[in-house]
Amino acid sequence: MRFTQFFMAAVTAALAVSVPTKIKKRGHKLRFFGVNESGAEFGNQNLPGVYGHDYTWYNLSTIPTFINKGMNIFRLNLQMERLVPNSLYGPLDPYYAGNLTEQVNYITSLGAFAMICPHNYGRYYNTIINDTAGFEAFWATVAQPFKNNALVMFDTNNEYHDMPQSLVVDLNQAAINGIRGIGANSQYITPEGNSYTGAWTWISSGNGATMGALKDPQNKLIYQMHQYLDSDGSGTSTTCVNSTIFENRLVAATQWLKQNNKLGMIGEFAGGDNATCLSALEGGLKYMGDNDNVWTGAMWWSAGPWWGDYIFTMEPPSGIAYTDILPKILPYD
């Protein structure tokens, strides 16, 4: 997406819980189905910002609600500068990292996956990240506390855009190297492409010609793409192009995944609460399920306690996507 009482939890000695490495299979076609949690990256023009004023963390009481609906993955969006402030080579901020750890430990204790996602668009303090060694160091620092938790996933960065294609590939590879280098070997890593990692532009953007070169010694990469259904694919309108647009915009990426023997997931998707969009959403998810040899899952954008009346909010109990859209798309996930 082109963008309770608060407390600060301190980092404890046991930052992560160990969990079984065996991954449960959902009773649906897609292996993963879930939702983005958004809010910890809010207020990014005010860094580090004040917790509860500029940004928030997520309502843990909603996690069992989502799981009971059939979800098993939560993409936790955060801000790099709050997690590792001042320098890519620096340490974790104990308070922000403590809150992240609380979220991850709770979600994974319930048997669901927690995806850690720096929502930074390939930038750090609003400057394109050119220091691949620094990016590798950042990811080594972030992954270290979670290296024994197989239910954690690492999303290298949200929606790289307007960057040299070679740099996007190099940053993704640096993230992989940093994560694996500290012994986090059981987790999936989801590289993202340039041009907002759109599925519909995966080939035309140059991602298709370059991103397949990424190397992971554990062979646990899932290429993350995003797909919205409005005319410009930005996810800023409830008007969908037509009732088949979701499937249509996945076809070329599906062919690329098959031809290159890769796995993919849709890390963000959404559509309006209307007949055209609902048909498109159902059709796209069914198409992914029919091609589940390459598509592993999808996550709705977005839940989070501060979304209010946002057009796509999935926040229980009254978010429009939670009340009106989720019941209709669940049979297709």
H or E, element range at 66: helix 62-69
* 118 SS3 class: strand
User: Tokens standing for 266?
Assistant: 């849709």
Q: Give the distance from CA 126 to its chain's centroid.
A: 20
The catalytic position among 136, 159, 282, 315 is: 159
Identify the CA nearest to 130 among candidates 164, 102, 158, 106. Answer: 164
- Report how far residue 81's alpha carbon sits from residue 70's, in angstroms, rounded to the nearest whole number: 33
The active-site residue, picked from 37, 247, 268, 315, is: 268
Q: How many CB atoms lie within 10 A of CB 24?
A: 12
Percentages of the chain per state (helix, strand, coil), in multiples of 5:
35, 15, 50
Contact predicate 332/285, CB 8 Å = yes
How far, in whole angstroms, is CA 177 from its chain's centroid?
19
Cis? peptide before 317, omega within 30° of 0: yes
Catalytic site includes residue 102: no
Q: What DSSP state is assigned to residue 47?
A: S
247 is catalytic: no
CB 195 within 8 A of CB 207: yes
- Residues that are catalytic: 159, 268
